[in-house]
Amino acid sequence: MTATLLTEIGELTTNDPELGRRGDAALVLQGERVVWVGERAAAPPADESVNMAGRAVLPGWVDSHTHLVFAGDRTAEFEARMAGEPYRAGGIAVTVEATRAASDEALAQNLRSHVDEAARQGTTCLETKTGYGLDVANEERCARIAVEVADEVTYLGAHLVPPGSDPESYVDLVCGKMLEVVRPHVRWGDVFCEEGAFDGEQTDRLLRAMAGQGLGLRVHGNQLGAGPGVQLAVRHGAASVDHCTYLTEADVAALAGSDTVATLLPACDLSTRQPPAPARRLLDAGATIALASNANPGSSYTTSMAFCVATAVLQMGLSVDEAVWAATAGGARALRRDTGDGAVGVIRPGARADLHVLDAPSATHLAYRPGVPLTWAVWRRGLRQR
Ligand code: NIG
């Protein structure tokens, strides 16, 4: 296996407490793994070397929250929102109709093109969800298509009660037959706990059913108002509760005292004209946060993690280090991929060789030069993508 030395790195962000963020660094990749990280002068011999010419190197983005198995377009809804209409969960039904009408090939092609778009911008590990099928056959095919492309797949049959369905019968279906057929394809189960979607009691029941089938749990919570999502996520030991835009002090304290990651979605807050999630309060209280794109055709139609990082710094009061950590190691923690052989979101020996090279001398440029496409090179599983 060829060993590749990356040398003349301007600034290396490792996310490893022992290796830190350092200048004068080099690293070696072999196969799918990072095999050596250290001072340039101490670099071992390698088969080939790539000169970074003073550029910054960081772990590839870990986008732990997207909804990319979909068809159709919601430009009209976006325009109405920009003209003053509020974002409502009900918009999901428009995408459900288009998704059900699309062929497997069209769904796979649309998913692939969005994942490629994300990869060109430095995303090397990506989660995506079902949730625009909302019947047994369509949820199953969305999951089946997703596993071919995404690193992690989440079952979100509990995204919305489809128009015309009885809510309690639909919850029975999501906990029963639908779960049974989707289960072989997915590692995670999720519920959209919000007014207009699923209430606290329904969420509790759904989480118990999915955990009972061995799924790890995630929750969409506290997106459009305060609600029980965060507390339920913590009580059920969910890996992550996502959105967290409206939090009470008790919610912040519960997250700080738990292993549940608060996954913040700054592009979604902006696109739905909600206030920025309270990232600073969460970090100051001791909670773990992740940043993710929430790429979907309704509330956040971007695959750009760099945009999320810049927004988190400029709008949410995070430092660049905190935001970059949250968009890499934080996402890995939210997906429980942060430890062991092949860990993502970190650069250390044994980690997956997922690297993002900026055409800039430091990660600070991500926020200092917002909106500028800074990705210069990307390695995923040790293979150079661009
Ligand atoms: O995370 N909140 C629920 N689901 C998505 C929105 C999906 C849509 O509007 O199509 C979200 O924002």
- Whether residues 46 and 132 share a domain: the answer is no
- Ligand 1 center from residue 303 Cα (angstroms): 14
Say if residue 20 is exposed, middle or buried (CB neighbours under 10 Å; 0-12, 13-18, 19+): exposed
**87-112 b/e (C-beta count within 10 Å ≥ 16 → b):** bbbebbbbbbebbbebeeeebbebbe
Is there a domain that residue 340 lies in?
no
70 lines ligand 1 (CB under 6 A): no
- Ligand 1 center from residue 295 Cα (angstroms): 9
What is the domain count for the chain? 2
- Whether residues 143 and 239 share a domain: the answer is yes
- Whether residues 37 and 87 share a domain: the answer is no
pLDDT tens digit sequence for 153-208? 999 999 999 999 999 999 999 999 999 999 999 999 999 999 999 999 999 999 99
241 lines ligand 1 (CB under 6 A): no
218 lines ligand 1 (CB under 6 A): no
Is there a domain that residue 339 lies in?
no
- Whether residues 79 and 155 share a domain: the answer is yes
Is there a domain that residue 47 lies in?
yes
The dihedral of CA 162, 165, 171, 173: what is its sign? negative
Instruction: Write the DSSP symbol of residue 41.
Output: G
Q: Choose the final residue of a domain: 334, 354, 376.
A: 334
- Whether residues 108 and 123 share a domain: the answer is yes
Say if residue 376 is exposed, middle or buried (CB neighbours under 10 Å; 0-12, 13-18, 19+): middle
Is there a domain that residue 106 lies in?
yes
Instruction: Please give the residue range of the domain that contains residue 264.
Output: 61-334
Task: Supply φ then ψ for residue 3, to 5 degrees.
Answer: -100, 125
**The domain spanning residue 25 has which CATH number?**
2.30.40.10
- Whether residues 159 and 284 share a domain: the answer is yes
Any idea what the Cα angle at residue 56 is, between residues 380 and 19, rounded to 5°? 80
Is there a domain that residue 96 lies in?
yes
Strands 33-39 and 152-158: unpaired
pTM above 0.95? yes
- Whether residues 76 and 169 share a domain: the answer is yes
- What is the model's pLDDT at position 365? 98
- What is the model's pLDDT at position 19? 81
- With a cut of 0.90, is the ipTM above it? yes
- What is the model's pLDDT at position 82? 97
Taking 70 as the pLDDT cut, the residues of the chain under it are none
Is there a domain that residue 38 lies in?
yes
- Whether residues 187 and 310 share a domain: the answer is yes
Is there a domain that residue 50 lies in?
yes
Mean pLDDT of the chain: 97
Q: Please state, in angstroms and rounded to a whole number, the distance separating the CA atoms of residues 318 and 279.
A: 7
294 lines ligand 1 (CB under 6 A): yes
- Whether residues 329 and 234 share a domain: the answer is yes
- What is the model's pLDDT at position 305? 98
Greatest extent of the chain over all pairs of C-alpha atoms, in Å? 67
User: Hey, what are 67's tokens?
Assistant: 């909804």
Which residues are part of a known binding site?
65, 67, 74, 132, 159, 220, 223, 294, 296, 298-299
The preferred substitution site among 97, 193, 265, 296 for testing ligand 1, maximizing ligand atoms within 8 Å of CB, is 296
268 lines ligand 1 (CB under 6 A): yes
Instruction: Write the DSSP symbol of residue 329.
Output: I
95 lines ligand 1 (CB under 6 A): yes
- Whether residues 250 and 200 share a domain: the answer is yes
- What is the model's pLDDT at position 81? 97
Q: Please state, in angstroms and rounded to a whole number, the distance separating the CA atoms of residues 173 and 155.
A: 13
- Whether residues 174 and 299 share a domain: the answer is yes
Is there a domain that residue 68 lies in?
yes
- Whether residues 359 and 263 share a domain: the answer is no
**The domain spanning residue 240 has which CATH number?**
3.20.20.140
- What is the model's pLDDT at position 23? 80
